[in-house]
Structure 1
Amino acid sequence: MRAPARAIRSLLVVAVSLLISVAGVPVAAVAAAAGGPAVHLALLQVERKTQPVGIDVAQPRFSWIVKSDRRGVEQVSWRVRVATSRSRLDAGRLVWDSGRTVSARSFDVAYAGPALAAATDYVWRVDVTTTKGAASAVSRFRTGLYDLGDWAGSSWIGNARAGDTDQLDLGGASWIWTPEATTPVAPAEPRAFRTVRVSPAGRAARTAEILITADDLYRLWVNGSLVGETQGAVNEWQQSRLFRVGLDASRNVFAIRTDNGAGSPAGLVAKVRITYTDGSTSVFTTGTDWVASRTAPAGFEAPSFDDSAWGAAVVQAPYGQGPWGGNVRAPQAEVRPAPLLRKEFAVDGKLADATLYYAAGGYAEVALNGAAIDDGVLSPGFTDYDDTVQYAAVDVTKQVVRGANAIGMELGRGFYGMTGGNVWRWQLPPWHDEPVVRAVLHLEYADGRTENIVTDDSWSIADGPTVFDDLYAGETYDAREAQNGYDTAGFDDRSWAAASEVGGPKGVLVHQRQQPIRVTESLPAVEVTQPASGVWVVKFPRVLAGWVRFTAQGPAGVTIRAQYGEKLLANGRVNFSNNGNFGSGFQTDRFVLAGAGVPESWQSRFSYKGFQYIEVTGWPGGGPPPLHAFTAQAVHTDAAETGSFASSDATMNQTHRAVVDTLKNNIHGIPTDTPMFEKNGWTGDAAVGAEMFMMNLDVHELFAKWMRDVHETP
């Protein structure tokens, strides 16, 4: 007798259910899949971002993907509705309703409603019909700041700027040398110069400021103590230097040794300003009242040295004339540590939303109540700051607490405040300045109230433990100077100064459209070798762009030095050859230990390097460093891999992997040509690689940002 069909179906359902249960898949999930909709929507985005914060375009573009397990599904129509909350959306209280539009388009659907409000949450719904059924989905976005008025009276803040009304220049000074038959050309020989200055009656000297340069190099002494020197690098004479020294009250001796290159012009030029204890000053310059010698006798710099047999120096040319012209650059200001900024504020009710909007000249690393606000680094993005300044927008609702709160920021130089010279002259763009930040923390309370915490001179500022940072040269971090807890409420900042409201970049403020730069991968060290005494070479699995996280324990003041490179020399040491003529060094980090008695860890914050190897010196303890002391971190614009390649040939697969890694090594807010040497956004490199980038990575917004950069280039 045949069993009834219904009974057989029931037995099959039970059997399948038991099998699924054994496999660990809930029966309800299978039922939903079997009876679920034929069509659903995924990847709802605004301006190619999922639930973005900071949208500041007038007509943001919506997109979605129609998904189905059916074949031949085509979108027939769409409808987009926008409201300021889910309840308003459901109730039909809309900001905009597109109406039903017959179209297969599912991307770049532009908003066409009334102007959106700044710093506001919006909820949007898309309804589509297809050849296999209908579907709808809901998402949200938060707007940014559309114009300067939306920045709520905030100011650019940072360290106080030194006034330049009393800065020395070389006007009125003369290039001097010893008498030569071939003036202004001189032999490749040393020369010595001296001048003795006696304080006027009734006045006591206190300090001197000495502005100086020489072609080709010099050493400067005051009262027998070496004050400064140059090395004779190519065209080093074009950069003047300013030295400040204490003086003897009544008599002071200024002595200089110079050296010239073969068959080239020779000259020394200086201006000195003496400040007396009564506040008055006097100025003198290089001229014929200096004495000069064609040799540099031993001890000639001593105050007691007898120079009575020396002749007078001769003038090669007044400053601004001769072979040097007016090509000497003003002295660079003293390079200050990365500043720390902090502000405490109180929240007196339940919050609905809290959003931090911040722009920077340079980089800003931001923390709230002791924790970073997000995982972005080297933020915000780099631009021509006279035209455009990018700002980041971060939802910090979950980090703000009722009661006392604190924001902390550390500012890095980036390209904006670079101090080290290089062949691209990034230390001299028209917008160059010390690092600054401008920010608004927009608070929206559950009862509808709003409040803005803004950057102004009520913030506090102090030097931080990052005592030096340069995008090309690297960083020096002194853990002894760390201000632990400065980004928490209740921190004692009585010794801090008030932040200064300063000019800041002139460019228009726009939201950072490209993905943030992030640490995307950590690679442990794979080998440590010792090519020379006290020198350790650490190898990582592949070439990458980023930095190394160091962990070490040792006495206070021990300095671990690590220089980065992509390949080795024949002797096993790291190859640091470069083409940048970097005035502040090249790809070198220094980690000064606090001596805490426990392992200490640190990694860069404001510079990235191209490398597979680091050369380490100064490692504490005498023995070789362990592998676990070093972790390489890959750092680049976090563009997802959207293309893939796979074959039966391992070499082909490895080649493609190397290509993709190389592409990632060269996206840092702009497409670059190399992470180790130039870090520049040359148009040729990016144009040649554009198709390869697009085929492998989600770089649409990165290239769109870069094209704006290109458009703004004079």
Structure 2
Amino acid sequence: MRLLCHRILLLSIVALVWQPAVARTDVTPVGLTCEYAVNPLGLDTPRPRLSWQLQSSERGQRQSAYQVRVASRPALLQAGTGDLWDSGVVRSAQSVHVEYAGRPLRSHQQCFWQVRVWDRRGQPSSWSQPATWTMGILTPQEWRAQWITYTPPPDPGTLPSRLVAALTLNGCRWIWFPEGDPRTDTAPGVRYFRCRFNLPAGMKPQAARALFTADDQFVLYVNGQRAGASDGKGFAWQRAQEIEVAALLVPGQNVLAVAVTNSAPSPAGLAGKLVVQPEAGELFTVITDGTWRCSDREVEGWQQPGFADDAWVPAHDTGAMGIAPWHGVRSPRAADWGQDRPGPLLRKAFRVRQPVKRATVYVCGLGYYELRLNGRKVGDRVLDPPFTRYDRRCLYTTYDVTAQVRRGENALGVVLGNGWYNQHAREEWDFDRAAWRDRPKLLLHLRLELADGSIQTLVSDRTWRGAAGPIRRDGIRNGELYDARRQVPGWDRPGFDDRAWARVAAVKPPQSSEAGERPATPTPPAPQLPAGAPPASGG
């Protein structure tokens, strides 16, 4: 009996001695985030920042060290392997913005990660529950999608589409007589400008338009004939004038002559272009730039083609369209897609040849969009994308649509609205005159990882179809008119007959004359909306 008691006592002592060596702290890492978001999709930063919170029942606990591991597959984490990155034990209390420092990440790559910490006594916690992040499209070259827009069938007698597309002031330069600083303060008076050009031999204009604006007022002459002028109202430079000039052009040498009046000491400038659509061949364009000649004195016959302007001086090139103080100037064609235009419906049917392992869609619809797949809305975002300077940056959103894509026939549908991108109402911030304003447009890239490891891609391009939808008008300030009689049943489902729908047009990305073609950037995470929030309407 005594021997048994001694053995029990010995085992108790061993248990007490051994327990601290294997005991784990009750500190638990929770609330894992990557770049401020929980399990984010579509990151474009090459070294994402990882954060976590500490949970403990003991007051005054703190972190004395951490270890992060990142794997390409969940099974590797379960096996205790971080094939992308294992930080090892890092003696640090940092738990916010720990920068990923592992293998280089690729576009579309999924990453699975977890963390464990050591408490103030140096005891380790258990590993956290795994979290994930997914990379977006990291380089412009990987964007295979085109910006597309719905173009209604033209009415008889309308201008050729190529000419209409060219009737913007993008690419034009503000010019003025070389005196003072035209952007701040210029003496009042009239300045005179000329540009001689030759229409190529044999060119027969099908149509020709001049698009001009001036601060304050202008009168345009073509080959000595008055062609048009500003509207004579205040702030006339805000409203570029489109003028028909085809009947005034002649084969060979022609001249554009413009008289510009600056009515008071103030900024002054002239900007515009001539666009000629020949019966065959490419557009012929003349823009304002430093090759124009100018004078501060009116001389008899200065509007005529034969006038000798050798004594006139080259115009001062003030800067590109979009510079201060004028910023963007809206052309009359910007009103071609006014708030009274129906919201476009765009669709694309496609077939998936194998079971889908993962499906990811990247989408930017301007100004607002609602994405639908096989008859159901994708995601829970509304009023997307957020406002940006659209000529500098457009935001795209990434969705995991694996559960919605099926083997066989599928269909994508998108509703577009004006949003802030095509804002109509006059307001203090001049969004109605923004250089980027244009009709709604779409950029979409769907990537399917199939069961055999192959990749199937579907992008927005000219093969999509478009039609007018039941949203008959929409404006960010003026609300929306929805006509349920014009609903199109089944338009966002496979099997819908869209042969009567129009082909979409491929267009340039949103830009001003100073902005190049920039890829879209991932949309930052959105706050969670309460249950019962209104559905997106595209306007």
> Normalising by the residue count of structure 1, what TM-score does the alignment of the two structures yield?
0.45
Compared with structure 1, are the counterparts of its residues 345 and 72 closer, same or farther at alpha carbon in structure 2 (3 Å cutoff)?
Answer: same
Residue type matched to 2:81 in 1? G
Alignment of 1:605 onto 2:537: yes
Counterpart in the other structure of 1:134: 124
Contact in 2 for aligned 1:360/1:389 (Cα 8 Å): no
What secondary structure sits across from 1:394 in the alignment? strand
How far the C-alpha of 1:399 sits from its partner, in A, is 1.0
Match of 1:356 in 2: 361
Q: Structure 2 counterpart of 1:424, which letter?
A: W
Deviation track 1:110-147 (CA, whole Å, cap 9, x = no partner) reads 01123211112111121211135322112111111111
Task: Measure the CA separation in 2 of the matches of 1:376 and 1:167.
Answer: 35
Does the aligned pair in 2 maintain the 1:354–1:441 contact within 8 Å? yes
| 3-state SS, counterpart of residue 485 of structure 2 | helix
Identify the structure with the greater strand proportion.
Answer: 1
Distance 1:166 1:605 in 2: 28
Q: In structure 2, what residue type is equivalent to 1:60?
A: P
Distance 1:501 1:330, change over 3 A: closer
**Percent identity (aligned):** 34
Q: 1:370 to 1:166 in 2, by over 3 A?
A: closer
Q: Aligned partners of 1:60, 1:515: CA distance in 2, in Å?
A: 18
Aligned in 2, Cα 1:41/1:166: closer, same or farther, shift over 3 Å?
Answer: closer
Aligned-pair CA distance for 1:44: 0.7
**Structure 1 CA distance for aligned equivalents of residues 519 and 332 of structure 2:** 29
Q: How does 1:225-624 map to 2 (within 5 A)?
A: 330=332, 332-335=335-338, 336-505=341-510, 506-515=517-526, 519-520=529-530, 605-607=537-539
Could you say what secondary structure the match of 1:54 adopts? coil
> Root-mean-square deviation (CA), in Å?
3.4
Structure 1 residue 520: deviation in Å?
A: 3.0
Amino acid in the other structure paired with 2:142: D
- The structural deviation recorded for 1:416 is 1.3
- CA pair 446-70 structure 1, distance change in 2 beyond 3 A: farther
Return closer, same or farther for 1:428/1:36 CA change in 2, 3 Å cut-off: same
Partners of 1:45 and 1:84 in 2: how far apart?
17
Structure 1, unmatched stretches of 5+, are: 1-34, 170-208, 212-232, 243-317, 319-326, 523-545, 550-602, 608-714
Query: What residue number does 1:87 align with?
Result: 75
Q: Which has the higher contact order (CA 8 A, sep 6+)?
A: 2
Show the 5 A alignment for 1:143-162: 143-151=135-143, 153-160=144-151, 162=161
Contact kept? 1:470, 1:606, Cα under 8 Å: no
Structure 1 residue 163: Cα displacement: 3.7
Q: Which deviations, in whole Å up to 9, do the C-alpha atoms of 1:641-668 show, x marking residues without a partner? A: xxxxxxxxxxxxxxxxxxxxxxxxxxxx
Aligned CA distance change for structure 1 residues 240 and 467 (closer, same or farther; 3 Å) = farther
SS at match of 2:332: coil
Amino acid at match of 1:370: G
**Within 2, Cα distance between the matches of 1:453 and 1:91?**
37
Q: Distance in 2 between matches of 1:391 and 1:166?
A: 25
Amino acid at match of 2:76: R
Structure-2 separation of matches of 1:457 and 1:168: 22
In structure 2, give the amino acid aligned to 1:92: T
User: Residue 121 in 1 paired to residue 110 in 2?
Assistant: yes
User: In the TM superposition, what are the counterparts of 1:20-39 in structure 2 within 5 Å?
Assistant: 38-39=26-27
Offset, 1:604: 6.7
- 1:355 to 1:59, Cα distance in 2 relative to 1, 3 A: same
- Displacement of 1:375 after TM fit? 1.1
Q: Does 1:108 align with 2:97?
A: yes
Residue 336 of structure 2 aligns with an amino acid whose one-letter code is A
Deviation at 1:433, TM superposition (A): 1.2
Deviation of 1:239 after TM superposition, in Å, equals 5.8
Inter-partner Cα distance in structure 1 for 2:330 and 2:447: 47
In 2, the alpha carbon distance for the partners of 1:521 and 1:491 equals: 32
Distance 1:511 1:362, change over 3 A: same
Cα distance change, pair 349–37 in 1 and its aligned pair in 2 (3 A)? farther
Cα deviation, residue 441, structure 1: 1.0
**Aligned-partner SS, 1:427:** helix
| Corresponding residue number in structure 2 for 1:174 | none
- Which stretch shifts more, 505-514 or 485-494? 505-514
1:419 counterpart SS class: coil
Aligned residues between the structures = 352
Letter of the structure 2 residue corresponding to residue 354 of structure 1? A
After alignment, is 382-391 or 83-92 more displaced? 83-92
For 2:240 and 2:470, how far apart are their aligned partners in 1? 28
CA 1:237–1:43: 2 relative to 1, 3 Å: closer
Deviation of residue 381 (structure 1)?
1.6
The 2-side partners of 1:81 and 1:328 are apart by 53
Change (3 A) 1:165 1:126: closer
Pick closer, same or farther for the CA change 1:406–1:106 going to 2, 3 Å: same
- Following the alignment from structure 2 to structure 1, what is the Cα–Cα distance between the partners of residues 167 and 439? 20
Per-residue deviation at 1:329?
6.3
Q: CA deviation at 1:334?
A: 5.0
**Aligned residue type for 2:124:** A
**Equivalent pair of 1:389/1:508 in contact (CA under 8 Å):** yes
1:93 is displaced (CA, Å) by 5.7
AA aligned to 2:146 is S
Structure 1 position 76 matched with structure 2 position 58: no
- Matched position secondary structure for 1:149: helix
Amino acid in structure 2 at the alignment position of 1:81: R
Deviation at 1:88, TM superposition (A): 2.9
Contact 2:383 2:536 in 1 (8 A): no
- Secondary structure in 2 matching 1:377: coil
Residue of structure 1 in register with 2:55 after alignment: 67
CA–CA distance in structure 2, aligned partners of residues 460 and 386 of structure 1:
26
- Could you give the per-residue CA deviations for residues 568-604 of structure 1, whole angstroms, max 9, x where no partner exists? xxxxxxxxxxxxxxxxxxxxxxxxxxxxxxxxxxx77
Amino acid at match of 1:397: T
Structure 2 residues not aligned, in runs of 5+: 1-22, 153-160, 169-208, 212-232, 243-302, 304-328, 511-516
Q: Give the Cα–Cα distance (whole angstroms) in 2 for the partners of residues 70 and 328 of structure 1.
A: 64
Alpha-carbon distance between aligned partners in 2 of 1:481 and 1:351, rounded to the nearest angstrom: 35
| Aligned equivalents of 1:98, 1:463: Cα separation in 2 | 54
Distance 1:402 1:130, change over 3 A: same
Residues 5-47 of structure 1: CA deviation (Å, up to 9, x unaligned)? xxxxxxxxxxxxxxxxxxxxxxxxxxxxxx9961222101111
Kept in 2, the 8 Å contact 1:160–1:502? The answer is: no
CA distance in 2, matches of 1:328, 1:512: 28
2: CA distance, partners of 1:495 / 1:43: 51
What CA distance in whole angstroms lies between the structure 2 residues aligned with 1:486 and 1:79? 51
Instruction: Work out whether 1:46 is the aligned partner of 2:48.
Output: no
1:612 alignment partner in structure 2: none
Paired with 2:44 and 2:378, the residues of 1 have a C-alpha distance of: 21
Per the normalisation by structure 2, the TM-score is 0.59
Structure 2 CA distance, aligned partners of 1:343 and 1:328?
A: 32
